[in-house]
Amino acid sequence: MATPAPVSAPAFDLSARFPGIASPDTRPGYSGWVIPKENLPEVAAALRDELGFDYLSHVTGVDYLPEGKMEVVYQFYKTTGGPGLSLKVQVPRQDPIEVPSIVSIYPGAEFQEREVWDLFGIRFTGHPDLRRILMWEGFEGHPLRKDWKEAYYEEDIKPFKSRWPEGKHVPAEDKTPFGDNVTYPDGFDAEKWIPEDPEKALYGALARYQVQDETGLGTEHVIVNIGPQHPSTHGVFRVAAILDGETIVSLKPVMGYLHRNHEKIGERNTYLMNMPFTDRLDYLSSMSNNFGYALTVEKLMNIKPPERAEYIRVMMAEMTRISNHLMAIGALTNDLGAYFTPMLYSLEERELILDIFEAVAGSRMMCNYFRFGGVVRDLPEGIPEKIKGLFFERLPRRIDELERFLSENEIVRSRGIGQGVLTAEDAIRYSASGPLLRASGIPYDVRRAEPYSIYDRFDFEVCVRPNGDIYDRLMIRFDEIRQSIRIVQQAVRGLPEGPVMAVKPAYTVRVPPGEAYGRVEGPKGELGFYIISNGKPSPWRYHVRAPSFINLTSFGPMCIGQKVADLVAVLGSIDIVLGEVDR
Amino acid sequence: MSEEMFGKGILKSLSVSLKRFVETYLDDLKWLGRRYRTAEGITHRGSKDGRGIFTVQYPEEKIPVPEEFRFVPFLVYDEGPDGEKIMRCTSCGICSRVCPPQCIWITRTTDPVTGRPIPDPAEFYIDADICMNCGLCAEYCPFDAIKMDHDYELASFGRNVFDKARLSKPASYYEEIRPVNAARENAARAAKEAARAAPKEG
């Protein structure tokens, strides 16, 4: 919702339960609770067991360089719905920075704590496997710290002064020739350096599993790497697994091959410049990314888009969900060995949706269509009719056909039913979201749990499937497509006339100081943006809660005990996009 | 898996494929060759009523791009009475400041006598390899001077650094690729000029 003022009363009084420990965050524009780091495990356990905040949405760090502080921010929700609770731990900015890990209480924090360690250099004591996750082992420095500078560093924030009025084009690679953009630590001699095996830590972590062998026969386990270049990993993604015969006994995903430090770029950019960059996160559903980002900044600015813009936004977000799910269905069946037939059938329908995006936003995938306070432009002539034709006449029929094509197919059923099961408890524990969570029987949908925009006006159901296996995760995407078609039908029928921007379009926006966490139900799950403004043209902290990344936390546990061939199907059923995983 | 499998589901799947296969030829017959390499055939294939073969055989066939389609920007110039190029750009620098990947470089012209800036760029570079086609420059240009192009065939053997000469295109080209936008902007500019002229008369 874009309405509430940035300063809002805490939804829940934590200081009553923890007197003297939890104190409200009183900085202007901030909310939530600050606790000492020693009490974190105790408070986290109470939140989960006593107070019902069973879902850890995201963990991230903030570097307050001028104040000499580091902060770790935790955001909790209840899977029964309602507002969230944010918890902050502040530590002095002096290495070694240590904060207790909460992985034993919320296993969903595993990858996120690794990310905070990697990018901020905050050590989580008690973390079972604290390695770098996005950068490689041996990387020097922690990139999201404010005093860390990248190889082609020019200035702290854009726009760069070298562009105008005395701009002369110089290719970046000429300014910093290869070899000159490297800095070595003091006393480092590259000639004498013998690197440690970079995979040692990974294989060491992989090898920590319990051997359960009832036969008493000694069998040799083998390490198998799938990817980073492998057609079934949906991008540059690697899976390292230990196999006992064909059975997976231990598995770790390895990511970061597409890492470009999106968040650092975001902190160099002005608020508006970030909009096209969000397109490139989950590039299959850019409209949804735009939505989440626009919503968060609007929360900080305390503005609300006009009615017509809200309807257009909802339509676009639901259309992007359909196109994303069609792609997910196609890719998963492709992984199951159906080759290209279902993939091409679903791509055909996706193409028609992308045609609408192209006519409306100017680009098929990199839409860049949302602005703070509305959308770029009104729907061009003839587009509402085109949407009506597609959503009332063609798509419902075609989705039925695609479901008839796949749902009863014996190969799909035998590869899917009972395979790669994620139980409801585990789905919550591992912070799974989106179709992955709902296919495990948890009817949690941000559009209903904490309605944003105008979703409270539409009639749709939160899809849920009980079994949590690959087949359910495939079928729930059909269910969700049908619900999205319903929403688009209602929105296009009720589309009001009027302006599409609440404020005068401007390339510089004034964002008051404060923090905001905005989230939308993206096609892949809860897509959140955590933004801290200090009143300057660029955000001080810009964090993306990427659903693909956090959904991967449950990938390992889902695969243990499966055959290696099912690994591909399990990964396909999670539906990841590496642009978002690696950021 | 416990359930019995008789292959009925697979037959059902195959029947869907068969239906699609037959549809292809039925639709081809109905259109009698007009379905391919004709503008109406391409439009039909990509419409809600399209059945059968969906693919467009690029580069022999091309999907028409919608008006709002955006690709690497270009600079608009008006043609003077003697055919000289009057750049709309005043080198105010808004496009280079709003550009997210910072791919626009502008050198402002200064009067050699007074040292004051002249509203016409001396140099204007866009590194098309860095440009992310977001369209923010065109969106926030107050002079309708920089616009997004429709020409998406930019493959080359070297780097695509476009200078002022390569970027400049006439206003007539802009009106041709974006008629609705151009008409609206021309009307707005005319109204503005009329408003500026009005107080003088009054």
Q: What is the CATH number of the domain that holds A104?
A: 3.30.460.80
Once rounded to an integer, what is the mean pLDDT over residues B16-30? 88
Task: Establish how many alpha carbons lie within 13 A of residue A470's alpha carbon, considering only the half-sphere containing its beta carbon.
Answer: 27
- Indicate yes or no: CB of A362 within 8 angstroms of CB of B100: no
Once rounded to an integer, what is the mean pLDDT over residues A389-394? 91
Among residues A125, A141, A163, which one ends one of the domains? Answer: A125
Residues of A in contact with B136 (CB under 8 A): 272-273, 276, 368, 507
User: How far B87 CA lies from chain A's nearest CA (Å)?
Assistant: 17
Residues of B in contact with A363 (CB under 8 A): 69-70, 133
Which member of A363, A386, A417 has the closest CB to residue B1? Answer: A417
Which member of A276, A406, A505 has the closest CB to residue B134? Answer: A276
**Does residue A199 lie in a domain region?**
no
Confidence class for position A471, pLDDT limits 50, 70, 90: very high
- Indicate yes or no: CB of A276 within 8 angstroms of CB of B100: yes
**Does residue A141 lie in a domain region?**
no
User: At A523, is the secondary structure helix, strand, or coil?
Assistant: coil
Lowest-confidence region among A42-46, A61-65, A181-185, A311-315? A181-185
Residues of A in contact with B105 (CB under 8 A): 162-164, 167-169
What confidence score (pLDDT) does residue A464 get? 92
What confidence score (pLDDT) does residue A212 get? 61
User: How far B37 CA lies from chain A's nearest CA (Å)?
Assistant: 19
* CA dist., res. A438 & res. A419, Å (int): 16
Which member of A168, A274, A405 has the closest CB to residue B105? Answer: A168
**Does residue A136 lie in a domain region?**
no
Residues of A in contact with B132 (CB under 8 A): 276, 366
Residues of B in contact with A397 (CB under 8 A): none
* CA dist., res. A467 & res. A416, Å (int): 11
Q: What percent of chain A shows pLDDT beyond 70?
A: 95
- Indicate yes or no: CB of B48 within 8 angstroms of CB of A377: no
The answer to whether A505 faces chain B, any CB pair under 8 Å, is yes
Q: Is the pLDDT of residue A436 over 60?
A: yes
Residue A241's H or E segment, with its range, is: strand A238-244
What confidence score (pLDDT) does residue A234 get? 82
Which member of B12, B102, B159 has the closest CB to residue A408? Answer: B12
Residues of A in contact with B180 (CB under 8 A): 380-381
User: How far A106 CA lies from chain B's nearest CA (Å)?
Assistant: 33
**Does residue A7 lie in a domain region?**
no
- Indicate yes or no: CB of B12 within 8 angstroms of CB of A390: no
Confidence class for position A369, pLDDT limits 50, 70, 90: very high
Residues of B in contact with A357 (CB under 8 A): none
Name the pairing type of β-strands B104-110 and B85-87.
unpaired
What confidence score (pLDDT) does residue A218 get? 67
Among residues A125, A155, A176, which one ends one of the domains? Answer: A125
Confidence class for position A88, pLDDT limits 50, 70, 90: very high
> Which residues, in sequence order, are bridge partners of residue A517?
A530
Q: Of residues B183 and A18, which shows the higher confidence score?
A: B183
Name the pairing type of β-strands B85-87 and A514-522.
unpaired
Once rounded to an integer, what is the mean pLDDT over residues A66-75? 92
Confidence class for position B82, pLDDT limits 50, 70, 90: confident
CATH value at residue A427: 1.10.645.10
What confidence score (pLDDT) does residue A213 get? 63
Contact B76, B88 (CB under 8 A): yes
The answer to whether A414 faces chain B, any CB pair under 8 Å, is yes
Q: What is the 3-state secondary structure (H, E, C) of B103-135?
A: CEEEEEEECCCCCCEEEEEEEEEEECCCCCCCC
Of A35, A32, A44, A37, residue with least CA distance to A107 = A44
Among residues A86, A110, A125, which one ends one of the domains? Answer: A125
User: How far A344 CA lies from chain B's nearest CA (Å)?
Assistant: 10
Q: Is the pLDDT of residue A26 over 90?
A: no
Confidence class for position B80, pLDDT limits 50, 70, 90: confident
What confidence score (pLDDT) does residue A105 get? 92
What confidence score (pLDDT) does residue A149 get? 84
The answer to whether A158 faces chain B, any CB pair under 8 Å, is yes
Lowest-confidence region among A121-130, A205-214, A256-265, B10-19? A205-214
Residues of B in contact with A167 (CB under 8 A): 96, 104-107, 123, 125
What confidence score (pLDDT) does residue A555 get? 92
Question: What domains are defined for chain B?
Answer: 1-62 (no CATH), 71-201 (3.30.70.3270)
Name the residue of chain A whose CA is nearest to B117's CA: A165
Name the pairing type of β-strands A33-35 and A85-92.
parallel
Contact A538, A270 (CB under 8 A): yes
Confidence class for position B148, pLDDT limits 50, 70, 90: very high
* CA dist., res. A501 & res. A504, Å (int): 7
**Does residue A39 lie in a domain region?**
yes
Residues of B in contact with A159 (CB under 8 A): 96-99, 102
Confidence class for position B158, pLDDT limits 50, 70, 90: confident
Confidence class for position A158, pLDDT limits 50, 70, 90: confident
What confidence score (pLDDT) does residue B73 get? 93
What confidence score (pLDDT) does residue A8 get? 42
User: How far A369 CA lies from chain B's nearest CA (Å)?
Assistant: 9
Burial of A340 (0-12, 13-18, 19+ CB in 10 A): exposed
**Does residue A566 lie in a domain region?**
yes
Give how far Cα A391 sits from Cα of A356, A361, A396, A412, Å.
12, 19, 7, 27
What confidence score (pLDDT) does residue A4 get? 41
Once rounded to an integer, what is the mean pLDDT over residues B61-85? 89
Once rounded to an integer, what is the mean pLDDT over residues A25-52? 89
The answer to whether A382 faces chain B, any CB pair under 8 Å, is no
What confidence score (pLDDT) does residue B4 get? 67
Contacts of A504 (CB under 8 A, 6+ apart): none
Once rounded to an integer, what is the mean pLDDT over residues B49-65? 87
> Which residues, in sequence order, are bridge partners of residue B147?
B74
Q: Is the pLDDT of residue A6 over 50?
A: no
The answer to whether A351 faces chain B, any CB pair under 8 Å, is yes
What confidence score (pLDDT) does residue A11 get? 59
* CA dist., res. A203 & res. A252, Å (int): 9
pLDDT per residue over A251-291, tens digit each?
Answer: 999 998 999 999 999 999 999 999 999 999 999 999 999 99
**Does residue A555 lie in a domain region?**
yes
* CA dist., res. A249 & res. A267, Å (int): 41
Domain coverage including residue A431? 262-582
- Please tell me the pTM assigned to this model: 0.91
Residues of A in contact with B8 (CB under 8 A): 408, 410
Q: How far apart are the first and last CA of chain A?
A: 26
Query: How many other CB atoms sit within 10 Å of the CB of residue A174?
Result: 8
**Does residue A180 lie in a domain region?**
no
Confidence class for position A412, pLDDT limits 50, 70, 90: confident
Backbone angles phi, psi at A414, to 5 degrees: -75, -30
Residues of B in contact with A381 (CB under 8 A): 180
Name the residue of chain B whose CA is nearest to A361's CA: B68
Lowest-confidence region among A58-72, A158-172, A374-388, A390-404? A158-172
Window 279-338 of A, Cβ < 8 Å to B: none
- Indicate yes or no: CB of B5 within 8 angstroms of CB of A414: yes
Residues of B in contact with A411 (CB under 8 A): 10
What confidence score (pLDDT) does residue A181 get? 64
- Indicate yes or no: CB of B5 within 8 angstroms of CB of A345: no
Which member of A273, A363, A410 has the closest CB to residue B7? Answer: A410
Confidence class for position A28, pLDDT limits 50, 70, 90: confident
Give how far Cα A224 sits from Cα of A221, A232, A337, A571, Å.
10, 15, 21, 16
User: How far B33 CA lies from chain A's nearest CA (Å)?
Assistant: 22
Of A485, A318, A465, residue with least CA distance to A402 = A485
What confidence score (pLDDT) does residue A22 get? 85
Once rounded to an integer, what is the mean pLDDT over residues A499-505? 88
Total domain count, chain A: 2
Mutation site for B-interface testing, chosen from A353, A405, A413 by largest number of B Cβ within 10 Å: A405
Please give the interface size between A and B, counted as residue pairs whose CB atoms are below 8 Å apart: 151
Once rounded to an integer, what is the mean pLDDT over residues A80-107? 90
Side by side, the strands of the sheet bearing A69-77 are A23-24, A33-35, A85-92, A69-77, A55-64
